[in-house]
């Protein structure tokens, strides 16, 4: 057994105390003496445990001295009980024993308070004592009514003095411990428990002395058991290494109960006393009860007077603070008002007339929303409702910052900043302080304008342009930067001066502003250089650059009563993937320098291949125009077969261009046709020719359909629906035999117009299909917005069948989705037999690809009418 581990001695003390108590009772010893011996032994064991534990409670600074006080108090109290037992046996007086009991009680109380709090035991000790006295008196009155009134004798008050003092101490310490924040507050709670048990034991002894009997055995065991539990606390609850952390604040319910507990006890005692008087015919109670009742009434009356005086003083302070706040706010130019949570003004300061031009009586009684801009009203109403809900929930008052526009008496809207807080004057009102920040806003706007605009031309400056370029560089739209330099401007400054040169720059800025679109960003880059940021196609950017050159050189500038002719060198740079905004600006500057080196008055594109691409696109557009006139285009048809029966169910019309004997792949000219708008007449020619050809095949009793791809420009072209309807009427092809295919990207731009046009076609009976299904993010949205008949699986999925498990799973999912939606599923790009077998196994409806049949001219399709693809697939 180690000296520093008192758990074994503590257990031994408990065993010895219990054994001694039992032996004493069996040998005929008085119960009081047996209890005293057991209590003293257990108190010594608990004191030993607490004193030893004080050495190891370094993590609890407040617990170590508290443990010493608690242990010492337990021993002193038990010694007093033992002396009382000896004095009773020898007929000695009991005053010394009662003194020891009271001293022990005080030591226990001090230890409990020290364990539960850091610093002083109680900041409002007088308030605690008054509450404890009221509670003790009320408990005594209840006990007198219930038990004590038949036992009155000349020593009545003296005998119960010790338990009453112990009860007073317990009632004083209990709220202090319960509201304590120290980490060792459990030790303090254990001390309160010991005080409660000793109070009960003292009351039992006093009652026994009044009746001339012995206290119940269980009351004699309460204190020893409590001592043992107290001694075990440091080793079970606190532990050796627990940190001295503050515990959470006491719950509001317990705090409210501690405040109202004495009053509740007074009410209970009053009721008990009234019942007693009614039962005993109005017989007055004993003198001690009368004295206690009178003292409680006096204390409550004094507290009520103090509370009224304190409340009046607080009201005066609040009113004074409110008045000082208004005077301070109005001295700074702010407007102070009181309004309810609905916004109705109850009171407003005179500053409203100086700031906004309204007399106070014109505003009082009206809603603040009558003066606030309608766009700002919803947000302010929501803020006021939120503050009203917080007030109903009892939350702490908070401040709400409000920015809005307020209408002055002259009708102008003035920006304001307001702070709304809950008023503490008793009514449910808001105190609002409003400040007119028109001057600050004007200054802020002026500073922002000067920061990002050029003082000579009024255009955005380099900083603004660079920031704007960084913003749009990450977007998907095509964009270009144009740099323009005035050729010969240095000579202007040298000849007519810098002031005239600035005037010429302002004239040039006006001309350039008239040449660019409203959405373009025109800025003065510095010196005689200007920059333009455009979000458009390459050809449009080059066209704009040419317009800028003409705008500068078309007529002379009138400066200092003379005409000055200038030209411009322009460089164009196009944004590419991976090119930063800084690189884009640098590229445009380099291109402009190249234009200047070549003599000026010209446009240069930064990259040679980009310049060549623009030229090639222009040439290709001209060639496409001639090809339409010279009938250089032809149509090939790729069969679409039923995978279950190998029967050709439809053909997809594909355009081919033979420029003389040279075949031009579709991917080389369709983009240019789309960009130049030539795709519209080209698509109309394909539609008419294909409808005529398929109608002829159907006239030969061959049930075959036609599929055509649509372009975005074709769908949005004027009279597009009428063109389709006319082609069907001229060819005689049924609308149900025509399937028009769209790709998902068409839904990204002008989605509303596209869906509207396709819906009109659907109403004609034309079938709709989604081409390249699964490659974009708009597929499912398209299926929801427009009733389609067919989805075509993109070849990138089909190519991985049998080789890529992920693509195979995705393809199977698409097929299942199509079946669940009741759609025809067509697989594109079938090139290998294993792909065909997997698609059949998945239940894919139709397919096309080189394995099934390559695109062929109309003559090749004619031969299909007499043969079958069964041998192939």
Indicate the SS3 state at residue 2.
coil
Higher pLDDT, 402 or 29: 402
Indicate the SS3 state at residue 520.
coil
Task: Check: pTM over 0.95? Answer yes or no.
Answer: no
Laid out side by side, the sheet with 480-487 consists of 521-526, 529-534, 480-487, 567-574, 602-605
Among 532-546, 556-570, 582-596, 615-629, the least confident range: 615-629
Partners of 344 in the β-ladder = 367
Higher pLDDT, 156 or 440: 440
Residue 787: which of 755, 812, 753, 819 has the closest Cα? 755
Q: Give a three-class secondary structure readout of 297-338.
A: HHHHHHHHHHHHHHHHHHHHHHHHHHHHHHHHHHHCCCEEEE
DSSP 61-124: TTHHHHHHHHHHHHHHHHHHHHHHHHHHHHT--SHHHHHHHHHHHHHHHHHHHHHH-SSSS-TT
Among 181-185, 307-311, 653-657, the least confident range: 181-185
Among 49-58, 116-125, 213-222, 478-487, the least confident range: 116-125
Indicate the SS3 state at residue 387.
helix
Question: Distance of alpha carbon 708 from its chain centroid, rounded?
Answer: 49
Residue 607 has pLDDT above 70, yes or no: no
Residue 369 has pLDDT above 50, yes or no: yes
Taking CA atoms, 534 is separated from 22, 469, 538, in Å, by: 104, 10, 10
Length of the chain: 873
* Mean pLDDT confidence for 76-95: 62
pLDDT given at position 283: 55
pLDDT band at 734 (very low <50, low <70, confident <90, very high): very high
Percent of the chain with pLDDT strictly greater than 70: 73
Residue 117 has pLDDT above 70, yes or no: no
When mean pLDDT is compared over 11-25, 26-40, 80-94, 517-531, the highest value belongs to 517-531
User: Tens digit of pLDDT for each residue in 273-313?
Assistant: 666 666 655 555 656 666 767 776 777 777 777 778 877 88
pLDDT given at position 280: 57
Residue 649: which of 794, 825, 531, 504 has the closest Cα? 825
Residue 88 has pLDDT above 60, yes or no: no
* Mean pLDDT confidence for 672-696: 89
- Indicate the helix (H) or strand (E) that contains 740: strand 738-742
DSSP summary character for residue 401:
E
Residues whose CB is less than 8 angstroms from the CB of residue 153 and which lie 6 or more positions away in sequence, other chains included = 210
What CA–CA distance (Å, rounded) separates 399 from 386? 11
Q: Tell whether the torsion through CA atoms of 483, 488, 491 and 493 is positive or negative.
A: negative
Q: Strands 846-847 and 824-827: what pairing?
A: parallel
pLDDT band at 257 (very low <50, low <70, confident <90, very high): low
Taking CA atoms, 257 is separated from 82, 122, 175, 756, 864, in Å, by: 37, 18, 10, 70, 97
What CA–CA distance (Å, rounded) separates 581 from 573? 11
What CA–CA distance (Å, rounded) separates 663 from 675? 21
pLDDT band at 92 (very low <50, low <70, confident <90, very high): very low
pLDDT given at position 243: 47
Residue 332 has pLDDT above 70, yes or no: no
* Mean pLDDT confidence for 660-689: 86
* Mean pLDDT confidence for 388-406: 72
What CA–CA distance (Å, rounded) separates 338 from 349? 9
**Average per-residue pLDDT in the chain?**
78
Q: Strands 738-742 and 790-793: what pairing?
A: unpaired
pLDDT given at position 29: 57
Residues whose CB is less than 8 angstroms from the CB of residue 772 and which lie 6 or more positions away in sequence, other chains included = 743, 744, 792, 794, 828
pLDDT band at 747 (very low <50, low <70, confident <90, very high): low
pLDDT given at position 240: 47
Question: Could you tell me if residue 641 is left (phi over 0), alpha (psi between -120 and 50 degrees) or otherwise beta?
Answer: beta
* Mean pLDDT confidence for 436-455: 81
Residue 109: which of 49, 222, 229, 195 has the closest Cα? 195
When mean pLDDT is compared over 115-129, 489-503, 725-739, the highest value belongs to 725-739
* Mean pLDDT confidence for 647-670: 87
pLDDT band at 341 (very low <50, low <70, confident <90, very high): confident
Residue 14 has pLDDT above 70, yes or no: no
Among 168-177, 643-652, 698-707, 823-832, the least confident range: 168-177
Taking CA atoms, 263 is separated from 125, 128, 165, 259, 267, in Å, by: 18, 14, 20, 8, 6
* Mean pLDDT confidence for 126-149: 72
pLDDT band at 21 (very low <50, low <70, confident <90, very high): low
Q: Give a three-class secondary structure readout of 22-56.
A: HHHHHCCCCHHHHHHHHHHHHHHHHHHHHHHHHHH
Yes or no: say if 539 and 569 are a contact pair by the CB < 8 Å rule: no
Among 468-482, 531-545, 591-605, the least confident range: 468-482
Taking CA atoms, 641 is separated from 510, 646, 708, 769, 872, in Å, by: 64, 6, 16, 16, 12
Exposed / middle / buried, residue 597 (Cβ in 10 Å: 0-12, 13-18, 19+)? exposed
What CA–CA distance (Å, rounded) separates 867 from 873? 13
Residue 799 has pLDDT above 60, yes or no: yes
Among 335-339, 567-571, 675-679, the least confident range: 675-679
pLDDT band at 120 (very low <50, low <70, confident <90, very high): very low
pLDDT band at 330 (very low <50, low <70, confident <90, very high): low
Indicate the SS3 state at residue 775.
coil
User: Tens digit of pLDDT for each residue in 32-65?
Assistant: 666 666 666 776 766 676 666 666 655 556 677 7
Among 152-161, 275-284, 289-298, 432-441, the least confident range: 275-284
pLDDT given at position 847: 93
Higher pLDDT, 588 or 55: 588
Indicate the SS3 state at residue 419.
strand
User: Tens digit of pLDDT for each residue in 766-779?
Assistant: 999 988 887 765 55
pLDDT given at position 106: 83
Residue 788 has pLDDT above 90, yes or no: no
Residues whose CB is less than 8 angstroms from the CB of residue 365 and which lie 6 or more positions away in sequence, other chains included = 344, 345
pLDDT given at position 513: 92
- Indicate the helix (H) or strand (E) that contains 451: helix 438-452
pLDDT band at 640 (very low <50, low <70, confident <90, very high): very high
């Amino acid at each position: 057994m180690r000296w520093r581990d008192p758990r074994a001695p503590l257990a031994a003390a408990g065993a010895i105390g219990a054994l001694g108590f039992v032996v004493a009772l069996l040998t005929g010893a008085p119960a009081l003496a047996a209890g005293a011996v057991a209590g003293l032994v257990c108190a010594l064991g608990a004191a030993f445990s607490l004193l030893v534990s004080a050495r190891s409670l370094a993590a609890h600074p407040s617990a170590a001295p508290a443990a010493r006080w608690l242990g010492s108090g337990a021993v002193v109290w038990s010694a007093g009980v033992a002396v009382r037992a000896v004095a009773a046996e020898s007929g000695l007086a009991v005053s010394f024993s009662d003194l020891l009991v009271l001293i022990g009680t005080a030591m226990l109380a001090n230890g409990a308070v020290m364990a539960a709090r850091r610093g002083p035991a109680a900041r409002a000790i007088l308030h605690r004592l008054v509450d404890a006295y009221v509670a003790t008196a009320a408990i005594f009155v209840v006990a007198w009514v219930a038990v004590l009134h038949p036992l009155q004798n000349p020593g009545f008050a003296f005998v119960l003095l010790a338990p009453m003092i112990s009860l007073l101490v317990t009632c004083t310490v209990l709220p202090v411990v319960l509201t304590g924040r120290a980490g060792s507050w459990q030790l303090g709670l254990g001390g309160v428990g010991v005080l409660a048990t000793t109070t009960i034991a003292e009351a039992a002894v006093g009652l026994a002395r009044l009746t001339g009997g012995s206290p119940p055995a269980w009351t004699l065991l309460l204190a020893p058991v409590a001592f043992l539990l107290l001694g075990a606390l440091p080793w079970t609850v606190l532990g050796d290494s627990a940190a001295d952390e503050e515990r959470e604040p006491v719950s509001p319910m317990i705090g409210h109960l501690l405040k109202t507990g004495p009053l509740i006890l007074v009410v209970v005692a009053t009721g008990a006393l009234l019942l007693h008087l009614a039962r005993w015919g109005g017989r007055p109670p004993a003198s001690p009860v009368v004295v206690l009742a009178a003292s409680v009434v006096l204390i409550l009356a004094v507290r009520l007077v103090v509370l009224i005086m304190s409340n009046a003083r607080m009201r005066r302070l609040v009113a004074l603070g409110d008045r000082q706040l208004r005077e301070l706010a109005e001295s700074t130019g702010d407007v102070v008002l009181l309004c309810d949570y609905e916004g109705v003004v109850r009171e407003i300061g005179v500053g409203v007339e100086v700031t906004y031009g309204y007399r106070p009586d014109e505003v009082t009684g009206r809603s603040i929303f009558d003066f606030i801009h309608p766009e700002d009203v919803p947000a302010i109403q929501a803020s006021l409702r939120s503050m009203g809900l917080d007030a109903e929930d009892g939350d702490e008052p908070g401040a709400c910052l409000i920015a809005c526009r307020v209408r002055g008496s002259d009708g102008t809207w003035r920006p304001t900043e307001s702070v709304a807080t809950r008023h503490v004057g008793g009514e449910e009102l808001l105190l609002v302080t409003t400040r007119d920040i028109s001057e600050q806003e004007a200054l802020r706007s002026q500073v922002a304008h000067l920061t990002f605009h050029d003082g000579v031309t009024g255009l955005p400056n380099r900083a603004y342009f660079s920031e704007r370029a960084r913003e749009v560089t990450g977007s998907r739209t095509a964009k270009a930067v144009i740099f323009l330099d005035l050729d010969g401007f240095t000579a202007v400054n040298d000849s007519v001066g810098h002031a005239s040169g600035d005037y010429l720059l302002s004239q040039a800025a006006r001309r350039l502003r008239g040449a660019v679109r409203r959405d373009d960003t025109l800025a003065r880059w510095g010196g005689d250089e200007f920059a333009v940021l455009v979000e458009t196609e390459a050809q449009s950017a080059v066209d704009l650059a040419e317009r800028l050159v003409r705008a500068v050189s078309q007529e002379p500038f009138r400066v200092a009563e003379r005409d000055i002719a200038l030209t411009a060198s322009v460089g164009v740079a196009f944004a590419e993937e991976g090119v930063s905004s800084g690189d884009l600006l640098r590229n445009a500057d380099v291109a402009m320098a190249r234009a200047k080196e070549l003599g000026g008055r010209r446009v240069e594109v930064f990259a040679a291949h980009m310049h060549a691409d623009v030229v090639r696109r222009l040439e290709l557009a001209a060639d496409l125009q001639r090809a339409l006139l010279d009938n250089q285009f032809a149509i090939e048809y790729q069969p679409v077969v039923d995978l279950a029966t190998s029967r050709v169910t439809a053909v997809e019309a594909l355009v081919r261009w033979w420029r003389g004997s040279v075949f031009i792949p579709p991917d080389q000219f369709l983009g240019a046709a789309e960009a130049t708008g030539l795709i519209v007449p080209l698509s109309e020619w394909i539609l008419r020719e294909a409808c005529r050809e398929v109608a002829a095949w159907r006239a030969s009793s061959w049930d075959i359909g036609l599929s055509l791809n649509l372009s975005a420009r074709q769908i949005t072209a004027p009279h597009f629906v009428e063109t389709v309807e006319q082609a069907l009427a001229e060819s005689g092809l049924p609308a149900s035999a025509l399937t028009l295919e769209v790709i998902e990207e068409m839904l990204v731009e002008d989605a509303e117009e596209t869906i509207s046009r396709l819906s009109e076609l659907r109403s004609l009976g034309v079938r709709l299909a989604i081409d390249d299904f699964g490659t974009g993010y708009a597929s499912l949205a398209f299926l929801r917005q427009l009733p389609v008949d067919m989805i075509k699986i993109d070849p990138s999925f089909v190519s991985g069948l049998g080789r890529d498990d992920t693509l195979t799973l995705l393809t199977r999912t698409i097929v299942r989705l199509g079946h669940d939606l009741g759609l025809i599923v067509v697989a594109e790009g079938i090139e290998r037999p294993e792909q065909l077998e997997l698609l059949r196994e998945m239940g894919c409806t139709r397919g096309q690809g080189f394995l099934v049949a390559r695109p062929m001219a109309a003559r090749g399709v004619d031969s299909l009418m007499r043969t079958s693809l069964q041998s192939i697939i």
